[in-house]
Amino acid sequence: MSAVPGTSLEESVRLGRIVSARLLEDKRVRLVAQRAGRAELSEDTWGTHYTEFEVDLVPLTGKAAETVQDDLRRTLEGIPGVNFAIRGFLAERIEETLTGSTAQVVVKLFGDDLDSLDLSARRMAETIGRVRGATDVQYDPPPVAPEVTVRLRPFALASVGIRPDEALEAVETATRGATVAQVFDGSRTTDVVVILDSASRRRPEQLRRIPLSNVNGRIVSLQSVADVERTTGRYLVSHQGTRRVVTVTANVQGRDVAGFARELENTARASVNLPAGIFADYGGTAAAQRSAQRELLLNSLLTGLGILMLLGLAFGEVDRLSLVLLNLPFALVGGVLAVFATGGVLSLGSLVGFVTLFGIATRNAVMLLSHYDHLVNVEGAPWGMDTALRGAMERLGPILMTALVTAIGLLPLALGSGDPGREIEGPMATVILGGLLTSTILSLIVLPVFALRVLRFRVPGTQ
């Protein structure tokens, strides 16, 4: 939960009680715990306006686990003045490791002028909110905090004979304290710190009366040599690569992250006019997914070329190699139908499933063609319709057994593809199961027909 910058810790805790009460109204929520503020040496740099809730849910099925986040979002929409982002623990940690932000889509705006960065980030957040599927859009302007600014007047300091470092040291001692001695009690050491009493530094105006002493012992007040004013400033300015950066984040609902990122980039380039010196970097899960897909496709292409070379050396004939490649579309049909049946989202797990599926389809084709060679060249069967049907029937048992064993092993993963932790294995298993169905049927029915027309066997004893 992110509230208005500058929100105190007490206010965050008060809002947290309201949020916890709203969440506990849902019967699927078992426990809500709030974390506000941060530890002294914590790695998190959020201010008191930011707080996290750990929501423990009752055990849910795959469909219920998908809808519970949408229901919780609708529950929290009625709370004014705060922004929410709902993520699972595993997904949040993975995304934070990849991009440093706990969101699927991360847009980082780089520049030098903070006001221009704030304006650009606000425009980018509005653009993201208009893209279909955007949810949990968050833009947190750099939070400001009240400050007391002390500006020394050099000519006034020189006129009374006080050096600037002496004046600043006196201000630091009055407001933060200075160690002047140590007290030893056995093995324990206690520092003696001198600081202005709390009643005399409660208001910034009281700091103007801090006494300063020159070398001659003359005492003057701080206000006679400096201007003390109430101001506001940013207590945190994020940097990356020596450039100031403001981050806009969002999650994606109801569509694939890669497609959302492409549409966002096109929309932002057309509608968001960034000021001079400001540029955007699009990252998050979509960028990591695109990189992984490119790497997977490249490795798969290199592996496929190696397999084609090995098959060419094993068969030595183009007709047999073409029949093996013909079996690949049989597997592709079932995999594509399975993807559309489960929402039409082509994820990284689906691509891994297609690669695995092509290997299984290639193996089935090699098994069938090798058996045809055995029937004709070893057993001396004449090549024709009877031999083609006989080879298909004799390979029916091994191919079906392999397909059934694989399907039985992957069926639990496919049925529970919506459960947390199965974001990769679920789509992969679904694609493999769909491809196995069409590949097994078509390779035993259609492939023998093509083999009967394409294959040519030499009569033993002829050149």
Structure confidence by residue, pLDDT tens digits, 215-271: 788 888 888 888 988 888 777 788 888 888 888 888 887 777 777 888 888 888 888
Here the tokens at position 156 are 């006034």
User: Quick one: pLDDT band at residue 461, thresholds 50, 70, 90?
Assistant: very low
Nearest-angstrom CA–CA distance, 420 and 89: 10
List where CATH 1.20.1640.10 sits in the chain: 317-454
Work out the pLDDT band at 376, boundaries 50, 70, 90. confident
Structural contact between residues 430 and 417, judged by C-beta atoms closer than 8 angstroms: yes
| Gap between the Cα atoms of 91 and 252, Å rounded | 13
Task: Give tens-digit pLDDT for 100-153.
Answer: 566 778 888 898 888 888 888 888 988 988 888 888 787 766 667 778 888 999
CA angle 378, 400, 321 (to 5 degrees): 50
Q: Give yes or no for residue 403 having a pLDDT over 50.
A: yes
Can you tell me whether residue 176 is helix, strand or coil?
coil
DSSP strands (E only) in 226-272? 226-234, 239-240, 243-252
C-alpha span between 269 and 267 (Å, rounded): 6
**Tokens coding 290:** 């695109």
Phi and psi torsions of 50, nearest 5°: -110, 135
Q: How far apart are CA 100 and CA 300, in angstroms?
A: 30
Phi, psi for 160 (deg, rounded to 5): -100, -5
Binned at pLDDT 50, 70 and 90, residue 399 comes out as confident
What pLDDT is attached to residue 249?
Answer: 83
| Residue type at position 140 | D
> Where along the chain do the CATH 3.30.70 domains lie?
1-84
Q: Are 330 and 439 in contact (CB under 8 A)?
A: yes
DSSP string, 121-146: HHHHHHHHHHSTTEEEEEE-PPPEEE
Q: What share of the chain is helix, strand, coil (3-state, %, to 5)?
A: 55, 20, 25
pLDDT confidence of 309, banded at 50, 70, 90? confident
Per-residue pLDDT tens for 21-59? 888 888 888 888 888 776 666 666 666 777 888 888 887
Rounded CA separation 314/309 (Å):
9
DSSP per position, 391-452: HHHHHHHHHHHHHHHHHHHHHHHHHTTTSTT-TTHHHHHHHHHHHHHHHHHHHHHHHHHHHH
CA–CA distance, 178 with 168 (Å, rounded to integer): 12
**Nearest-angstrom CA–CA distance, 12 and 47:** 10
CATH 3.30.2090.10 positions along the chain are 145-234
| pLDDT value at residue 133 | 83
Homologous superfamily (CATH) of 317-454 is Multidrug efflux transporter AcrB transmembrane domain (1.20.1640.10)
Of the pLDDT bands very low, low, confident and very high (cuts 50, 70, 90), residue 98 is: low
Q: What pLDDT, on the 0 to 100 scale, is given for residue 459?
A: 47
Q: From 3.40.30.10, 3.30.2090.10, 3.40.50.620, 3.20.20.70, which CATH number describes the 145-234 domain? A: 3.30.2090.10
pLDDT band at 443 (very low <50, low <70, confident <90, very high): confident
Q: For residues 375 and 391, is the Cβ–Cβ distance under 8 A?
A: yes
In the chain, the amino acid numbered 139 is Y
307-321 in b/e form (b: 16+ CB < 10 A) is: eeeebeeebeeeebb
Helix axis angle for 348-373 and 385-415, nearest 10°, is 160
pLDDT higher than threshold 70 for residue 91: no
CATH classification (class only), 1-84: alpha beta
| pLDDT per residue as tens digits for the range 146-173 | 788 889 999 988 888 888 988 898 888 8
CA gap 279, 108 in Å, rounded: 8
Pairing of strands 105-111, 51-57: unpaired
DSSP β-bridge partners for residue 284: 105
For residues 98 and 268, the model is more confident at: 268
CB 374 within 8 A of CB 385: no
Q: Considering Cα of 455, then 459, then 461, then 463, what sign does the dihedral take?
A: negative
